[in-house]
Each structure stands twice: as structure tokens, then as C-alpha cells.
């Protein structure tokens, strides 16, 4: 049979098992076009059927469409049964594995979640579906709160509107963290076996799954509100806030947590406050993307707000913006590294205070050693905080599945707006608990007439001024990213932006402190650092530049860092463009 014939056969077999009328219809039309000689349709079919979305440590993520290389009900059914088989295989004799399933407001999220619940229950496991669309942190919390074997969150986080995804968490010894290797490969092997065994119509389903009680949500609200340490008098100094949910599911949960903690409800960006799978007001529903916060800036200007809080659509990330008279919008979004530095400093201070109180009461020392942690591409600023407070510090590979697993973790973050301020409650980034902690800090500062910008200056005076820049090269052809990484390895630079290269670590070969990963770490003679890696979730090559200074007064430190960042950014753009 010809390649076109094989593609057509595979497509017809897919159509026969697909329960989704929309994806069935669009694939039928695509097959008709290919059979009629439309070369673009043939190319599209080949892209969809010559491979499949691989279940990795980030689970599954892709555009919603028919075919094994897209997100759809067939693929989700195979994934759900594959996960069930994996859990049954590793279960102790007589144990019935259990899975809690959550979903956000994206297209097909609830459908994918209910399919998963029916198929997991049909495989003989206990399946528990969260009562409605809720943020990812609630699902991550529920894995530990319900003491289940695993959790599934149906979300594509901040990806483009037509994407969806499937994230898996493990309970037990994994404490509700996202999966890591080799678990992803083991689950993938089961998924492939399910896909090879026959159509999903042969898989048993059951409506005997449970719906989680509202008490799970209430417990998350209670535990998250507890991260605020402020008395009522200081909460009364709360700056005026504008909040946006970015068309996602964060608002209901965030507002409940604020109320439980005693904070004043913020102004909201009405056009973005309710879940809307179309994401009509943003090109990308990601607070990091240009233009994503424009409506928040407008609302803050008109309402006289001093602080903007933004969650991404599944509310596991947090963006913060503060007034800036030099900006055209009147506001400046703090970088993930700036927010991470503020929250990390606050965590270190809180731990030091608790140790002093414990020493006064005669309490013993904590074990394991209390740690601050961040991803390897995040700012070295957190290491300076840890050193100053006598805490441990650990860099991890990118991805919160690594940060959350650090033993003795007090606080962890990654520069892509992910923060974990309460690891005793859940083991994933949480944009809601981080927002409450940041708001408490801003309110505490306001009592004495200070702002978050003032606190950043204090940080720079105490620990040194740290500055970061990032370059993202978006591509349509993923081979261009591979080519760029090969070129840098084959022809390593000796100078960047006029500064000599001191060393280059190829982390693909592994290192003493990190497992192998496709990352280049470039250290410069002046102490600056550059990291280069492919994005794990988007078609981008990413470059991270970090510069610091402890020389002179604050303004001198800032001037040096800004100038050196500009020079290194120019140099790296020449290398990767």
C-alpha cells in the first residue's frame, strides 16, 4: 500500500472510533481533500498520523484536532487507560489505585476530564472528579488532601487558545509532585500498548466515578489563606489592587482566599475575569507576552491602583505589575526573578523568625536542612539570600516537577512566573498562594509608607543588584532550534558582548549537580552567566542572561548591570539569530 493509502486507512480507522463530532468532521474533510489530490491536505495528514504526541514529564500538550499527533478524545482515552494500567501494575497486592481529576475552562477540558474519569473507573480504579472547573493548584492540593495514587489536570496552562493538555501528578512517596523520568516513559509505554490493541470503543467505561465533595475546595481555601501573616491593622493598609484571571479559572478561588484571609476584594478586569476558552482579548493568554496585561494597565490607571495581580488561565502562575512613571502604560511588570527574589527573601525572614521563636521555646533544629531552590535558568539572586541566612540552596532542571521535589524546601520558584510558597500544602507552583503572600508583603510595606519597588532596592543594597534579560526566538520549524544548539556546541563563542567566555558547561552531558538536559551554561569572565535551551512547552529557543554587582552604591550597581545586560543581549542575538 502506498504512503497515501496508509494515511487514508489510518484516518478512516480514527474516524470510526472518534466520539467527537467536530474532530470527526474536520478529519473527514481533510481525508476527502487528500484523496482529491490536495497536497496541503496530504501534508497535514502526514503530520497528524506519521507520529503521535509523546507522553513526557509535562504530560501531553498540543492543538485540539483529530489524529494521534493532536489533542482529542481518542488520544485522551488512550492516555487515561494507559495511566490506569500503569497504576495497576505498580499497585501492591489487593490495593485499588485512586486518581483525582481536575479541569480548567479551556475548550474540551471538561469533556476530557469526564472521559478520563469514566475510563479510569472502567479499568477498576477509584476515580474522583473535582466538582467543577478549578485552578491547577486545587488539583495539586487534592492529590495530597485525598491521599490518592495520582492526579490528572486537564489544562494547557498559558498555551494558545486551541491547545489543551494532560498533566499527571503522583501521590504517596512523590507527595503530589508532577511525574519525572522514568515514570513518563513507563506511562507512555502503556499508552502505546492501549493504542495498538484496538479502538477506544473497546475500552470499558463506567459512570461509577465519584465527584469530590466541596470540602476539598474549602480545605484549599483555608490552607492557602493561612499563608498571610498580617494582623487586621496591616491588612487595612492594603494597596489598591487590580486583578485579572486572563480568561481563566482563577477568580472564584482567589476571591474566596482573599476573603478568608481578610483582604479587601480587588478591582477586576471585567473583560477577562470569567473563563472563556476563546481568550478573545489576548493573542496569547500568557502574562509574559507583550500586550497581555494592557487591559489591566488601563483598569489600574482609571482606578488609581498601586498593584496589578494577574494569574494565567489555570492560575498556577503569577504576574505582578507596579506603577512606573517612565513607562508608556504607567506600569511595569516585575520579572519572575524579581518576584522570586522578594518571595524568597520573605521566606528566609519568616524561617529565621520561627527559628528564633523555636530557640526561645527550646525547640530542636529542623531536619532535613531548610532549602531555597530555583530552576537553573532562574536568577542567582536566590542563592545570595540562602547564603546570607545560612539556608541550603539548590538549582534544579527547568520545570516545577524538579523544584517541588527538593528535600526540606522552604520556597522554590522558576523565572517563568512560577512560585511555591507553601510546600507543606502542595507540591507544584501556585499562583494563588503566591499572590496572597505578595499582597501581604505589599500591605506590610505600605504600613510604613514603602512599596515593592522600595523593597527591591533594599534587596539590591543587602544582597547585590541582580538583573536578568531573556531572548525568545519563536520558530515554525523545530529543526531550526536543534540547528542553533548544534552550532553553539560545534563553534563555542570565546567572547560575548565584548566579555571573555570563562567556561561553557554542556548540561546534555550531565554535571555533578544536575541530570543531563539540553542546556548550555556559559560563564563569563566578569561573573555574568548565560543559559541557552529549547523551550519545553513552546516552539522557542530561549536565552537567559544574568548579571549582578555588589560594587558601589545602589545607582552604580544598577547602571553597571543595565549596561552589561544590554551588551550581552546584543551579543547573544547575533549568535542565535
What is the pLDDT, as a whole number, of residue 479? Answer: 85
What is the pLDDT, as a whole number, of residue 363? Answer: 59
Contact 176, 427 (CB under 8 A): yes
Q: Minimal CA–CA distance to 253: which of 242, 240, 243?
A: 243
Q: Report how many domains make up the chain.
A: 5
C-alpha cell at 561: 548591570
Contact 152, 116 (CB under 8 A): yes
Kindly report the CA angle at 13 between 11 and 18, in degrees rounded to 5? 90
CATH number reported for the structural domain that contains residue 346 in this entry: 3.40.120.10
DSSP 56: B
44 φ, ψ (degrees, to nearest 5): -65, -40
Residues 61 and 208 in one domain: yes
Residues 406 and 521 in one domain: no
Residue-by-residue DSSP string for 168-201: EEE-GGGTTEEP-TTHHHHHHHHHHHHHHH--GG
Of 430, 460, 490, which residue constitutes the final position of a domain? 460
DSSP 326: T
Residues 113 and 137 in one domain: yes
Cα distances (Å, whole numbers) of residue 154 to 24, 36, 210, 288, 314: 21, 37, 17, 22, 10
Distance CA 316, CA 58 (A): 14
What is the pLDDT, as a whole number, of residue 294? Answer: 97
Q: Three-class SS of residue 462?
A: helix
Q: Which residues of 50-78 are buried (b: 16+ CB within 10 A; e: fewer)?
A: eebbebebbbbbbbbbbbbbbbbbbbbbb
pTM: predicted TM-score of the whole model, two decimal places? 0.94
Cα distances (Å, whole numbers) of residue 55 to 27, 109, 111, 423, 517: 23, 18, 19, 26, 18
Residues 468 and 563 in one domain: yes
Q: Which of 116, 157, 404, 468 is catalytic?
A: 157
131 φ, ψ (degrees, to nearest 5): -70, -20
**Domain containing 327: what range?**
219-334
Distance CA 33, CA 10 (A): 15
Which residues, other chains included, contact 507 with Cβ-Cβ below 8 Å and sequence gap of 6+?
A: 376, 514, 516, 517, 518, 519, 520, 521
C-alpha cell at 478: 523545530
Contact 313, 246 (CB under 8 A): yes
Of 290, 307, 334, which residue constitutes the final position of a domain? 334
What is the pLDDT, as a whole number, of residue 267? Answer: 98
Residues 36 and 59 in one domain: no
Residues 399 and 519 in one domain: no
Segments of 312-464 assigned E as strands: 318-323, 331-333, 371-375, 392-396, 409-414, 418-420
Q: Which helix (H) or strand (E) holds 150?
A: strand 150-154
What is the C-alpha end-to-end distance of the chain, expressed in Å? 43
Residues 67 and 44 in one domain: no
What is the pLDDT, as a whole number, of residue 258? Answer: 97
Residues 232 and 192 in one domain: no
pLDDT tens-digit series, residues 172-204:
999 999 999 999 999 999 999 999 999 999 999
Residues 330 and 341 in one domain: no
DSSP 536: S
Which residues, other chains included, contact 69 with Cβ-Cβ below 8 Å and sequence gap of 6+?
A: 47, 48, 49, 50, 51, 52, 53, 62
Distance CA 116, CA 129 (A): 9
C-alpha cell at 141: 492540593
Of 171, 187, 212, which residue constitutes the final position of a domain? 212
Q: Which residues of 223-251 are buried (b: 16+ CB within 10 A; e: fewer)?
A: bbbebbebeeebbeebbebbbbbbbbbbb
Contact 153, 169 (CB under 8 A): yes
Residues 264 and 343 in one domain: no
Residues 193 and 108 in one domain: yes
Distance CA 551, CA 449 (A): 28
Residues 491 and 537 in one domain: yes
What contacts 24+ positions apart, CB below 8 Å, involve 445-451?
446/237, 446/238, 446/239, 447/233, 447/234, 447/237, 451/239, 451/306, 451/322
Q: Does the annotation count 157 as an active-site position?
A: yes
Report, as ranges of residue numbers, the positions in the chain whose pLDDT lies below 70.
1-2, 360-367, 537
Amino acid at each position: 500500500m502506498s504512503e497515501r493509502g496508509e494515511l487514508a486507512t489510518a484516518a478512516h480507522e480514527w474516524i470510526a472510533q472518534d466520539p467527537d463530532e467536530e474532530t470527526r468532521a474536520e478529519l473527514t474533510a481533510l481525508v476527502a481533500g487528500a484523496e482529491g489530490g490536495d497536497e496541503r491536505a496530504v501534508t497535514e495528514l502526514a503530520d497528524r498520523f506519521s507520529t503521535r504526541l509523546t507522553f513526557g514529564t509535562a504530560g501531553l500538550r498540543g492543538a485540539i484536532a483529530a489524529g494521534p499527533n493532536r489533542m482529542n478524545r481518542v488520544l485522551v482515552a488512550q492516555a487515561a487507560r494507559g495511566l490506569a494500567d500503569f497504576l495497576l501494575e505498580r499497585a501492591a497486592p489487593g490495593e485499588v489505585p485512586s486518581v483525582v481529576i481536575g479541569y480548567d475552562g479551556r475548550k474540551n477540558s471538561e469533556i476530557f476530564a469526564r472521559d478520563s474519569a469514566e475510563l479510569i473507573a472502567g479499568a477498576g480504579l477509584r476515580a474522583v472528579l473535582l466538582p467543577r472547573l478549578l485552578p491547577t493548584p486545587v488539583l495539586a492540593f487534592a492529590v495530597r488532601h485525598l491521599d490518592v495514587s495520582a492526579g490528572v489536570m486537564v489544562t494547557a496552562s498559558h498555551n494558545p487558545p486551541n491547545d489543551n493538555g494532560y498533566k499527571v501528578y503522583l501521590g504517596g512517596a512523590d507527595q503530589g509532585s508532577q511525574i519525572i523520568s522514568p515514570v513518563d516513559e513507563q506511562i507512555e509505554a502503556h499508552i502505546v500498548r492501549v493504542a495498538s490493541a484496538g479502538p477506544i470503543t473497546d475500552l470499558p467505561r463506567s459512570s461509577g466515578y465519584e465527584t469530590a465533595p466541596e470540602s476539598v475546595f474549602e480545605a484549599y481555601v483555608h490552607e492557602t489563606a493561612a499563608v498571610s501573616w498580617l494582623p487586621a491593622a496591616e491588612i487595612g493598609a492594603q494597596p489598591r489592587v487590580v486583578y485579572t484571571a486572563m480568561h481563566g479559572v482563577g477568580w472564584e478561588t482567589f476571591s474566596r482566599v482573599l476573603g478568608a484571609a481578610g483582604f479587601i476584594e480587588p478591582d477586576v478586569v471585567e473583560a477577562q475575569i470569567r473563563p472563556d476558552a476563546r481568550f478573545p482579548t489576548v493573542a496569547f493568554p500568557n502574562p509574559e507576552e507583550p500586550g497581555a496585561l494592557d487591559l489591566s494597565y488601563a483598569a489600574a490607571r482609571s482606578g488609581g491602583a498601586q498593584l496589578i495581580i494577574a494569574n494565567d488561565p489555570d492560575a498556577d502562575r503569577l504576574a505582578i505589575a507596579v506603577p512606573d512613571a517612565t513607562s508608556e502604560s504607567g506600569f511595569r511588570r516585575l520579572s519572575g526573578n524579581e518576584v522570586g527574589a522578594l518571595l524568597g527573601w520573605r521566606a528566609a525572614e519568616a524561617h529565621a523568625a520561627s527559628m528564633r521563636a523555636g530557640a526561645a521555646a527550646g525547640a530542636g533544629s529542623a531536619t532535613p536542612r531548610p532549602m531555597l531552590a530555583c530552576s537553573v535558568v532562574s536568577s542567582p539572586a536566590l542563592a545570595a539570600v540562602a547564603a546570607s541566612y545560612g539556608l541550603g540552596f539548590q538549582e534544579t532542571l527547568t520545570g516545577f516537577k524538579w523544584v517541588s521535589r527538593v528535600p526540606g524546601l522552604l520556597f522554590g520558584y522558576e523565572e517563568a512566573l512560577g512560585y511555591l510558597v507553601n510546600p507543606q500544602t502542595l507540591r507544584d507552583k501556585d499562583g494563588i498562594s503566591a499572590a496572597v503572600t505578595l499582597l501581604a508583603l505589599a500591605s506590610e510595606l505600605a504600613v510604613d509608607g514603602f512599596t515593592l519597588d522600595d523593597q527591591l532596592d533594599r534587596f539590591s543594597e543587602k544582597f547585590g543588584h541582580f538583573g536578568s534579560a531573556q531572548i525568545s526566538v519563536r520558530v515554525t520549524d523545530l529543526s531550526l532550534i536543534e540547528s542553533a544548539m548544534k552550532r553553539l556546541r560545534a563553534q563555542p563563542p570565546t567572547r560575548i558582548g565584548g566579555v571573555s567566555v570563562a567556561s561553557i558547561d554542556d548540561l546534555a552531558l550531565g554535571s555533578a549537580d544536575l541530570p543531563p538536559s539540553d542546556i548550555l551554561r556559559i560563564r563569563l569572565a566578569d561573573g555574568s552567566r548565560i543559559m541557552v535551551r529549547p523551550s519545553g512547552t513552546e516552539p522557542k529557543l530561549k536565552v537567559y542572561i544574568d548579571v549582578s554587582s555588589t560594587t558601589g552604591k545602589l545607582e552604580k550597581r544598577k547602571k553597571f548591570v543595565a549596561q552589561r545586560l544590554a551588551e550581552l543581549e546584543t551579543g547573544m542575538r547575533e549568535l542565535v539569530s
